[in-house]
Chains A and B, each alone.
Chain A
């Protein structure tokens, strides 16, 4: 019976890094690439690929700009992304409750 609930977990958040990225973008209006990298302590390539995946799901928006000559990329969670994150957390919560009862 637990399997039904597990299906509800968002596939896009199966990976921990993606879930962490989403947590940051829900808690903050915008976050830039380098600060994200420092916070999550992962490599450029790793972070970039997970951001790409979230962007493809339309969970995040990308804002590109320049700080002087350096490119500065900011990320922002979309409504769809925030909704998906909320539902994912709800499902996690329900799963915990469910397992406490069984």
Chain B
């Protein structure tokens, strides 16, 4: 055996161990785009909320602004849907390139570990919203999203873990500073996604 051959052998082992246990087809580009959607959503929400003389958290009640709440929920759902679709399309393209099945054992494990905190958080937020606790939306979306990233990070790039921790910290800070929800939301889902998406794009997408 030549030295080259030995090196190839070791490299192939390393690559197969990684491909068998981690979903390495997560697209960085989709992270950037998700960040952009979030910023657009945050801007639309800002226009909606801050058009009047009062800030929303001073005066908000369901009776006073039923349509505003509905619009905000529509914006949030649209941002989420657009991000999920983009993530799915770009990651499946990436999966094809890295010859990893998009719907295989690993992507399923990844999704399960991501969905558990995310669905729990989502339902909790909806329950609390229905009881009128609007202030919890920003901190809890950030915190539960961060938890889901940390839990999913074992099955994909390690960088995702740090993004998750940052989201959690941001969520906790947001919980201490009521009234700046939209700002934290824009930083967490917009800016951080763009920063991390670009990092991962440069590191792994090619």
Contact = CB atoms under 8 A, between A and B. Distances in A.
B176 interface: no
Contact of B19 (A32, A39, A89, A100): A39
A82 to B, nearest CB: 13
A83 interface: no
Nearest to A38: B101
A92 B9 contact: yes
B104 interface: yes
26 contacts: A16-B12, A19-B9, A19-B13, A20-B12, A20-B13, A20-B16, A23-B13, A23-B16, A23-B20, A27-B17, A27-B20, A31-B20, A35-B104, A35-B105, A39-B19, A39-B20, A39-B100, A39-B104, A89-B10, A92-B10, A95-B1, A96-B3, A96-B6, A96-B10, A99-B6, A100-B3
A99 B3 contact: yes
The dominant DSSP class at the A interface is: helix
Nearest to A9: B1
B16 A39 contact: yes
A77 interface: no
A27 to B, nearest CB: 4
A49 to B, nearest CB: 19
A31 B19 CA distance: 13
Given A28-B21, A40-B16, 4 more contacts: A31-B20, A32-B105, A35-B104, A35-B105
Contacts, number: 51
A95 B13 contact: no
A26 B17 contact: yes
Interface string B87-101: 000000000000111
Nearest to B17: A27
Contacts of A95: 1, 6
Interface string B1-40: 1010011011011001111110000000000000000000
Contact of B13 (A40, A89, A100): A89
